[in-house]
């Protein structure tokens, strides 16, 4: 949205050379925190877009420095996503203490432009767009990035190819009629913002999925179901009123209702949403949501904003106190989401005695398709298994549990600890089952943390965080250590401990610090597919 200073901007800045390489041509967008320019990369002779962060003059020097650093840090993180439906960040530069983010130039308008010019999308086209955006969100979430402002204006449609591109990850918010982007306050578009964020709770991937559900409604009907004449009306609609999907969303209703569940603990996750969309693309009919589908809380988002959803470190503790519903009643779901967002992003307990592999144990029963058995009530496991992606296989372990592991991992047994290890035993997934202890998972993990230096050379940065796993109280312990030998080098271990079916389980991963991201993905898959006490 242009301002009265637009002409001055163009006269002063057109032709300006940034970092000796990027020549600004014309302004193509403006938001509350910056300006977007069409530019030429003079080194590679290509057209790019350049986002310039322009700081409010009222900010203190310290606040301005923090915002610059936050912007650059987030831009560098997004540059690592590397997904075809996420905007490509080419470069991050600073000139005259002002950050500039250089991104690919998408020739084509936004989804908002498309709806304004040609009307809403049909269900099939909207479903395809939704599936592309799901892939983009999952890739971002794996890098610790929450979008926080998913709306039609931030979805670009490339002319000629139809490519869907998700942009504006908080780098330079594009102002809309109800967008709030002030530093240190709420960030996002209220019509598209999840209720747990509205009520001051912590946000995780599930909050972006709510926004995706609202965007899907807008794509098929032309507007958000929460659009009202005032900001107060929008807040009331998001937090209080009955959620009424538009009639145009009828063919996609199971997905829409699954994404727009106000309780983030009941909201479906990306895997379930993708399952529904795949079925719809294949058959033209969307199946019902699985009764037990829940958000898989393995992800611990990296927080980059200092607004009301700020948290302290990986523990995810909310600084602003317990959020309350406008009626005065506690918003239990938002509180649970704040705890759960601390979650399970880094994996497991390497045990007090280290994680040296032992001898090969009994060979497990292996299948390339998830087992179809339905767990009994005591296990609480899924009634329909998640699809296992290429490169993984389901194993029915002789100890009675099942989970998905990478194809090339092999089983080893050491005392009561079962391992699935990568070639060379570099990355180690472990499982232990035992009787519950007094005080539950949190007490067990705190004891492990206290004894950590005894069996883990160079034990450091240890911490225990209470969380939830599939609705059950759980505790996560993580630490860095020097490895079993000098040749191994520094390693990081993360463990999740929970009680289920009258037993206590630990599921953990240990990996070199340089391969932790890879290990976390494998750990997440193990957690998502783990079934305890499986009957063979």
* CATH assignment at residue 149: 1.10.510.10
Q: How high does pLDDT run on average in the chain?
A: 76
Residues 182 and 258 in one domain: yes
Q: What pLDDT is attached to residue 202?
A: 67
What's the full length of the chain, in residues?
536
Q: Does residue 64 or residue 311 have the better pLDDT? A: 64
Mean pLDDT of 257-276: 91
Domain boundary among 340, 373, 404: 340
Domain boundary among 52, 70, 104: 104
Domain boundary among 104, 135, 162: 104
In a domain, 167, yes or no: yes
Residues 170 and 302 in one domain: yes
Domain interval for residue 52: 6-104
Per mean pLDDT, which range of 363-372, 491-500, 515-524 is the poorest? 363-372
Give the torsion sign (CA, 452, 455, 461, 464). negative
In a domain, 242, yes or no: yes
Residues 289 and 414 in one domain: no
Q: If you search the block for the tokens 């320019």, which residue do you land on?
A: 37
Q: Encoding tokens for residue 170?
A: 């908080």
In a domain, 355, yes or no: no
Residues 192 and 87 in one domain: no
Q: What pLDDT is attached to residue 30?
A: 72
In a domain, 29, yes or no: yes
Query: Where does the pLDDT of residue 328 fall: very low under 50, low under 70, confident under 90, or very high at 90 and above?
Result: very low
| Torsion angle (degrees, nearest 10) of CA 179, 181, 186, 188 | 50
In a domain, 271, yes or no: yes
pLDDT tens sequence across 95-126? 887 888 899 999 888 999 999 999 999 999 99
Mean pLDDT of 429-448: 94
Query: Where does the pLDDT of residue 324 fall: very low under 50, low under 70, confident under 90, or very high at 90 and above?
Result: very low
Q: Report the percentage of the chain scoring pLDDT > 90.
A: 42
In a domain, 536, yes or no: no
Residues 165 and 49 in one domain: no
Residues 270 and 137: beta-carbon distance below 8 Å: yes
pLDDT tens sequence across 505-515? 999 999 998 88
Q: What pLDDT is attached to residue 174?
A: 29
Measured CA to CA, the distance from residue 343 to residue 314 in angstroms comes to 9
Q: What pLDDT is attached to residue 329?
A: 33
Mean pLDDT of 54-77: 77
Per mean pLDDT, which range of 7-16, 130-139, 331-340 is the poorest? 331-340
Residue 300: which residues within 8 A CB-CB, separation 6 or more?
A: 144, 314, 316, 341, 342, 343, 344, 345, 346
* CATH assignment at residue 430: 3.40.1000.10
Out of 76-85, 414-423, 434-443, give the one with best mean pLDDT: 434-443
In a domain, 348, yes or no: no
Mean pLDDT of 347-354: 29
Q: Report the percentage of the chain scoring pLDDT > 70.
A: 74
Residues 269 and 416 in one domain: no
Query: Where does the pLDDT of residue 53 fall: very low under 50, low under 70, confident under 90, or very high at 90 and above?
Result: confident
* CATH assignment at residue 82: 3.30.200.20
pLDDT tens sequence across 184-204? 445 568 899 999 888 776 678
Residues 212 and 274 in one domain: yes
Residue 492: which of 452, 525, 529, 465 has the closest Cα? Answer: 452
Residues 161 and 300 in one domain: yes
Residue 523: which of 404, 364, 434, 359 has the closest Cα? Answer: 404
Residues 192 and 310 in one domain: yes
Residues 377 and 522 in one domain: yes
Q: Does residue 71 or residue 62 have the better pLDDT? A: 62
Q: If you search the block for the tokens 């592991």, which residue do you land on?
A: 405
- Residue 405 DSSP symbol: E
In a domain, 345, yes or no: no
Q: Hey, how many other C-beta atoms are within 10 angstroms of the C-beta on 60? A: 8
Residues 394 and 325 in one domain: no
Q: What pLDDT is attached to residue 292?
A: 65
Residues 242 and 225: beta-carbon distance below 8 Å: no
Tally of domains within the chain: 3
Residues 282 and 375 in one domain: no
């Amino acid at each position: 949205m242009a301002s009265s200073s637009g002409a001055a901007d163009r006269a002063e800045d057109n032709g300006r050379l940034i970092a000796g390489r990027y020549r600004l041509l014309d302004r193509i967008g403006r938001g509350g925190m910056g300006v977007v320019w069409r530019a030429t990369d003079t080194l590679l002779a290509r057209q790019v877009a350049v986002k310039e962060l322009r700081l409010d003059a009222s900010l203190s020097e310290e606040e301005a420095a923090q915002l610059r650093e936050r912007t650059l840090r987030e831009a560098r993180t997004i540059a690592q996503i590397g997904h075809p439906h996420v905007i490509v960040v080419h470069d991050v530069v600073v000139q005259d203490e002002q950050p500039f983010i250089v991104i690919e130039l998408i020739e084509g308008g936004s989804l908002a432009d498309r709806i304004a010019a040609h009307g809403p999308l049909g269900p099939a086209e909207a479903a395809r767009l939704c599936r592309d955006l799901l892939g983009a969100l999952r890739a971002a979430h794996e890098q610790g990035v929450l979008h926080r402002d998913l709306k039609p204006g931030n979805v670009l449609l490339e002319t000629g190819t139809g490519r869907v591109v998700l942009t504006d990850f908080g780098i330079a918010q594009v102002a809309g009629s109800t967008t709030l982007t002030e530093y240190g306050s709420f960030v996002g578009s209220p019509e598209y913002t999840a209720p747990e964020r509205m009520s001051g709770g912590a946000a995780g991937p599930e909050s972006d999925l709510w926004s995706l559900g609202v965007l899907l409604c807008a794509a098929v009907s032309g507007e958000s179901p929460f659009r009202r004449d005032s900001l107060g009306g929008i807040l009331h609609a998001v937090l209080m009123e009955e959620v009424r999907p538009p009639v145009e969303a009828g063919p996609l209703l199971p997905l829409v209702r699954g994404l727009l569940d106000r309780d983030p603990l009941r909201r479906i996750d990306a895997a379930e949403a993708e399952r529904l969309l795949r079925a719809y693309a294949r058959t033209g009919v969307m199946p019902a949501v699985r009764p037990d589908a829940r958000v898989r809380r393995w992800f611990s988002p990296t927080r980059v904003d200092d607004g009301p959803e700020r948290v302290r470190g990986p523990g995810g503790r909310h600084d602003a106190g317990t959020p309350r519903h406008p009626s005065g009643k506690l918003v239990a779901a938002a509180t649970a989401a704040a705890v759960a967002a601390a979650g399970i992003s880094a994996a497991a307990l390497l045990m007090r005695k280290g994680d040296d592999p032992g001898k090969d144990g009994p060979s497990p029963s292996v299948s390339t398709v998830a087992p179809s058995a339905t767990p009994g009530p005591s296990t609480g496991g899924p009634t329909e298994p998640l699809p296992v992606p290429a490169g993984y296989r389901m194993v029915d372990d002789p100890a009675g549990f099942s989970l998905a592991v990478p194809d090339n991992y092999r089983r080893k047994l050491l005392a009561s600890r079962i391992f699935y290890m990568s070639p060379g035993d570099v990355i180690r997934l472990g499982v232990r089952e035992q009787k519950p202890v007094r005080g539950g998972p949190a007490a067990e993990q705190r004891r492990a943390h206290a004894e950590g230096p005894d069996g883990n050379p160079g034990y450091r940065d240890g911490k225990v965080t209470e969380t939830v796993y599939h609705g059950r109280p759980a505790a996560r312990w993580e630490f860095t250590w020097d490895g079993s030998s000098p040749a191994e080098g520094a390693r990081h271990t993360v463990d999740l401990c929970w009680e289920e079916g009258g037993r206590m389980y630990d599921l953990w991963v240990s990996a070199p610090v340089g391969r932790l991201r890879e290990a976390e993905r494998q750990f997440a898959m193990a957690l998502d597919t783990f079934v305890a006490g499986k009957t063979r």
